[in-house]
Amino acid sequence: MSAKRAPAAPPQLPGFSYVQVLGSGGFADVYLYEQALPRRRVAVKVLLAEKMTSGAVEQFQAEANVMAMLSTHPAIVTIYQAGVADDGRSYLVMEYCSKPNLQVRARSAPISVAEALRVGIQVAAAVETAHRAGILHRDIKPANILVTEYNRPALTDFGIATTADGRDPSAGMSIPWSPPESFADNPEFTVQSDVWALGATVFNLLAGRSPFEVPGGRNGGADLIRRIESEPLARLERPDAPASLFQVLERSMAKRPVDRFESAVAFARALQKVQIELAHSVTPIDILDDAPPVEEQEEDGELTRVRGIVSIDPHTAPAAGPTWERSALAAGFGTGPDAAVQRDTSGWAPGGAPADTGADATVLRPPTAIPPAAPVTSEVDEGTMLRAPQRTAATPAATGPAPATDTTAPPARSRKGLWIGLIAAAVVAVVVVGAVLVASALAPPAEVADPQETATTAPEPQDPVADFIAAPEKSDNTIRGGKVIFRWVNPDPQEGDTYVWQRVRLDGGEAAAENVAETSVVVPLDGDTQVCIDVSVRRENGATSDATRLCASS
């Protein structure tokens, strides 16, 4: 590893106390601060002083504005505030995600198919939200997907984001997750460019490497670009990954943009179909809706309408009858590969409001009131139920003149005949009842089984911290012979515990993560004045703790 610059000194920010360095890149440093009010830990991204040119400052401010506009989405890192420090450096205060990012996770241990599908759908929803706001991310990759305290993915780093119709030959996309068109002489960036990166990211989570990286082979920039442009996607070497999942990833990373999914939400729906095939819980697609506010609606089933958020939940299947429109995944996936709904031919939603007729709209309509006396036929015409014509006593069978009516009254029945009929019916009833009683008396008594006691087990109380894994605690470090010996303490050692550690690269890149059994590791200085590592406890079942950062300065 070549020598890298040391992080700049953290700025003094009113209301914030500096804690430690989190990382460094080519344009900015990221620090951990503690905010005084409200008290919480935050990540602060600070632009480097030597990068304080007009263009860099504008780009930094654009990133702040883009993330602030989108950060209400549950899968996008939240932005708290932005400003300029006393020393003139621009800074951005963000949500602090202490858990290892998905690049570290994927390198250290395999990620299950279920989690990869869930993360792919949630991040795709975030990307779709950005696209609907006219923003391309252009740098989607596992390292830019952080993990919140609630184990939800959070997309970050909109530093090179641009408008959806923008073209920028100097784009800073990362080669392993970039589409072929980004390497052209006149690169074009479209929605399908981000779809490629989404597919490459999910592939990385499943394979533990980028899609065109060859284990043990040459993986330089030129080698990766050649494979991305000309070679087919290597198959996933996982028996638990179905062929349908590989087909989704293969389509998302087609060489030609026109052959890919037309949108991020279409990619998410394809992953939902795989979840259904595997009988997994289906992850909802949350999309920020920029339509005018509407009246709040009551909860119905599993779908809760949140103002400003369109939640596409294929598990929601209203029980009110066939006049409901269902999402494509809950009703045979509609009539096309990416159809979201089966719409009423009227094109109008309840209350007279025009329904969204876009390709990605998902609509749930309340049932049409049907009079109970009107039976419904089995014929359906595009969501409109056809009713059979009803014939009642007041409805003539056909049009035309009414037939002649005989007004002659029938002759009155004889009272004598009526009494004879009633007496005969009573005699028959007495005979039948007597026969039943005699048969019951002669039948042997039925054996009655002894009642069995049903054992009931009281539910065990839930331990809310049973799955918590304590992070490693710092110990002493030793610098000797151009190397640093980092040591740490496992506060809650369990049988089978190991430790995942990763060197923090000062250029903002990702170093390979390693798994060790000891509570120490030797790291070469390589000419750096400061060396930092992140270390986590890893249980035998694959679960990991939060990372603890250890630093040493020569």
Cα–Cα distance measured from residue 23 to residue 9, given in angstroms and rounded to the nearest whole number: 12
Residue 550: which of 498, 506, 485 has the closest Cα?
A: 485
Identify whether 38 is preceded by a cis peptide bond (ω within 30 of 0). Answer: yes
Point out the least confidently predicted range of 65-79, 288-302, 496-510.
288-302
The amino acid occupying position 243 is A
Lowest mean pLDDT, pick from 3-12, 183-192, 491-500:
3-12
What sections of 383-516 are H helices per DSSP? 415-442
Q: Which residues are annotated as a binding site for ATP?
A: 45
Which tokens go with 181?
A: 């068109």
Greatest mean pLDDT among 105-109, 137-141, 229-233 lies in: 229-233
Q: Which helix (H) or strand (E) holds 206?
A: helix 191-207
Whether the full predicted model's pTM is greater than 0.85, yes or no, is no
3-state helix, strand, coil in the chain (%, to 5): 25, 20, 55
Name residue 473's beta-bridge partners: 489
Q: Residue 235: what residue type?
A: R
Contact by Cβ (8 Å): 139, 200:
no
The answer to whether residue 505 scores a pLDDT higher than 90 is no
Give the distance, in angstroms, between the CA of residue 212 and the centroid of all CA atoms in the same chain. 25
Annotated binding site: 45
Evaluate whether 75 touches 126 at the Cβ level (below 8 Å): yes
> Which of 36-45, 291-300, 320-329, 352-361 shows the highest mean pLDDT?
36-45
CA distance 468 to 546: 10
Spatial separation of the C-alpha atoms in residues 77 and 101, rounded to whole Å: 12
Query: Domains, the chain, ranges and CATH?
Result: 1-96 (3.30.200.20), 97-288 (1.10.510.10), 473-553 (2.60.40.10)
Dist CA 63 CA 404 (whole Å): 87
The pLDDT tens digits of the residues spanning 176-201 come to: 999 999 998 888 889 999 999 999 99
Instruction: Say whether pLDDT at 401 is over 70.
Output: no
pLDDT averaged over every residue in the chain: 73
Q: How far apart are CA 22 and CA 32, in angstroms?
A: 6
Please compute the mean of the pLDDT values over residues 325-337 and round it to a whole number.
Answer: 35
Bridge partner residues of 524 (DSSP): 483
Average pLDDT of the segment spanning 478-500: 88
Q: Which two tokens stand for residue 128?
A: 């779709």
